[in-house]
Amino acid sequence: MAGLSTALVTIRRVSERVDDRPDVGWHPEPELLNVRDADVSREALRAAGAAIWEAGLDYLYDHAFERAMGAPIGYEALRREFFGPGGRPAPAPDAPTTLDAVLEEFSARIAPHTVSAWHPRSFGYFTPPPLLASVAGEVLAQIAQQGIDIWHAGPIGAFVEEEVLRWLCDLVGYAEGSFGILTSGGVMANFIAMAVVRDVHVPRLRGLDGPPRGRALEGLRVYASDQTHFSIGRALDELGFPPEALVVVPADDAFRLRGASVAEAIARDRAAGLLPIAIAAVAGSTNTGAVDRVGELADVAAREDLWLHVDAAYGAAARLSARDAHRVADLERADSVTVDPHKWLFQSYDIGGLVVRDGSVLEQAFGGRRPEYYRAGHGPPNDRPLAAGANGANGASGAPTDDDGGHGSGEQLNFWRLGFEGTRRWRALKLWLSWKHVGTSGFGRMVEANIDLAAAMAARIAASPDFEALPSEPELSVVCFRHLPDGRPAPATGTADGAALDAHQDRVQQALEASGEGWVSTTRLRGATYLRAGILNTQSTVEDVDALLDILRRIARDVGAASHG
């Protein structure tokens, strides 16, 4: 009894030192840190949410709709303004402060210097203004804090992602048995696709017992155009392929990769004793929005037993439009397709994705290792009541299955086994909410509106002697064009006059950016510099396109006068 009595005294002494809530009295707003008691914290959280939302609205209407680019200031000057005279990051703050003070600092130091996706003449990179439902999904996902790596850590979150992936597979045109994974963006999606080529397709071609490594990667060839996204080459580099593994095949006059050109390159390489393994096509190139001839490439891939990957990060969304789906044809014939909802599905950053026609290949490439700390979610599916709901869904969707007993995941949907990442954000919720909110038809209408704006811009340019576009008619919603001072014909590239015209485009772009009246980027096409308008903006009208061209004319006159002054 003495031992029990001593133990009870010890327990009472510990209890006296521990409050019924965690100690957050050191903070000026403890009710925002310890939120367990609704009577104490609910109203405070509501007020905090209102303050956060008000800061967002202040940003939207005081900055985003006022300037397409932040206040005009150079790189070094902005470093000094943000960091201080030394231009270096300050130490982390030691003392706490109020949320209002933090929001005020955001409004004063950060908001004025942001790039605005919302400005109606913002046509820079593929950065659309996000749908409100997407913003809502981001907020709810972060509050819920689901880890979408192992099913056990975010059960319903995994199912939301599974459903969204089914919708993306349907968008591409894949049948049952297909599957995929959401990623941070197209770079990661393309990386995963090339890993599948290396670790699943190449062993099949060569009759290997396992994935090739080291010297086994020599002599392999992947074919892509000169318009292919840089991430294909980067992926091959990081996956251990030698530099010569990527064969760049010139695109046609409309910047599209064609089947005949790839077939010729394959024939040359086979004659040299090399092994062609894949074609990496693009449907909606970053430079011009061009769409490779996927059907032709699929014919070549089928004939030559090559994996066909299509980077449709931007262009796949055109298939949401009954009117314009034909612009991105034959995606269903690819073995894998990259789709980026944070481009033409108008999602907040970040959410990309890869879908594969054979849903089992992702686990074949990434499912080999079994971390011990994931054991809680490894048991057979019938061990856990909720897991029974996953079985039928996975079997129908093409999600991986596994019956290796207690060490594996059973038929539970564990995304860490399907891609490169372990911890994964709940990216699917915002797209799920957005799709529910606007519907496929709504997405299609917004895509069509952007395509119509690009066509209108190209038509205005074609009718203007002081602008020219390349190509003259956009395939999707990217317009590449340049200003021709005084309407003079463009000089040949590689000449002094050609270099001067290139420099003129850069000066015009920089001046437009500084003015805040709009934003376009620049690119290089056939050795020359062009302005590039990527039209993925839900806020823009034809009047904004006309205004942008007039603004560019005025700026071109100003920079021309300055350069001759």
Query: Could you tell me if 229 and 278 lie in one domain?
Result: yes
pLDDT of residue 390: 34
* One domain, residues 243 and 219: yes
The enclosing domain of 537 has a CATH number of 3.90.1150.170
Residues of the chain falling short of pLDDT 50: 4, 7-19, 381-397, 401-410
Strand order in the sheet with 528-534: 122-123, 519-525, 528-534, 478-483, 467-469
In a domain, 46, yes or no: no
Number of other CB atoms surrounding residue 249 within 10 Å: 18
Residues paired with residue 275 on neighbouring β-strands, in sequence order: 220
Q: Look at residues 425, 458, 489 and tell me which one is the last residue of a structural domain.
A: 425
Please check whether residue 308 is in contact with residue 281, taking contact to mean a CB–CB distance below 8 angstroms. yes
Residue 497 falls inside a structural domain: yes
Which tokens is 202 given?
């190449």
Given 385, 403, 425, the domain boundary residue is 425
Could you tell me if residue 14 is inside a domain?
no
Instruction: Say yes or no: 253 and 322 in one domain.
Output: yes
Q: Which two tokens stand for residue 269?
A: 């390489």
The number of distinct structural domains making up the chain is 2
Q: What dihedral do alpha carbons 454, 455, 457, 462 form, nearest 10°?
A: 140
pLDDT at residue number 565: 54
Amino acid letter, 390: A
Contacts for 74 with CB less than 8 Å, ≥ 6 apart: none
Residues 451 and 421 in one domain: no
Looking at the structure, tell me whether residues 303 and 362 fall in a common domain.
Answer: yes
What are the beta bridge partners of residue 468?
A: 482
Give me the domain span that covers residue 443: 432-564
In this structure, the answer to whether residues 421 and 476 fall within a common structural domain is no
159: amino acid identity, one letter: F
| DSSP per-residue string spanning 244-309 | GGEEEEPP-TTS---HHHHHHHHHHHHHTT-EEEEEEEEBS-TTT--B--HHHHHHHHHHHT-EEE
Give the C-alpha separation, 439 to 182, whole Å.
20
Q: Cα-flanking dihedrals φ and ψ of residue 343, to 5°?
A: -100, -100
Task: Check whether residue 336 and residue 477 sit in a common domain.
Answer: no
**Residue 2: its pLDDT value, please?**
54
Residues 421 and 509 placed together within one structural domain of the fold: no
Nearest to 111 by CA among 51, 47, 75, 57: 57
Number of Cβ atoms within 10 Å of the Cβ of 70: 17
What is d(CA 399, CA 421) in angstroms, rounded to the nearest whole number?
17
Residue with tokens 């002081």: 466
The answer to whether position 75 is within a domain reads no
Residue 14: the pLDDT is: 38
Q: Which of 388, 403, 425 is the last residue of a domain?
A: 425
Q: Which H helix or E strand runs over 440?
A: helix 428-462
* 180 membership: H or E segment, kind and range: strand 179-183
Bond into 471 cis (ω within 30): yes
Answer whether residue 100 is part of any domain: no
Do 354 and 451 reside in the same domain of the chain? no
Question: Does some domain include residue 529?
Answer: yes
Give the per-residue pLDDT at 488.
86
Say whether both 421 and 491 belong to one domain.
no
Residue 202 belongs to domain with CATH number? 3.40.640.10
Residue 113 within any structural domain of the chain:
no
Residues 6+ apart with CB under 8 A from 412: 151, 152, 377, 381, 387, 390, 394
Residue 239 lies in a domain: yes
Instruction: Answer yes or no: do 341 and 443 share one domain.
Output: no
Neighbours of 140 (CB within 10 A): 13
Asked if 180 and 358 count as a contact pair (C-beta separation under 8 A), the reply is: no
User: Are both 370 and 439 inside the same structural domain?
Assistant: no
* Separation between Cα atoms, residue 196 and residue 388, nearest integer Å: 29
Neighbours of 56 (CB within 10 A): 15
Count of residues in the chain:
565
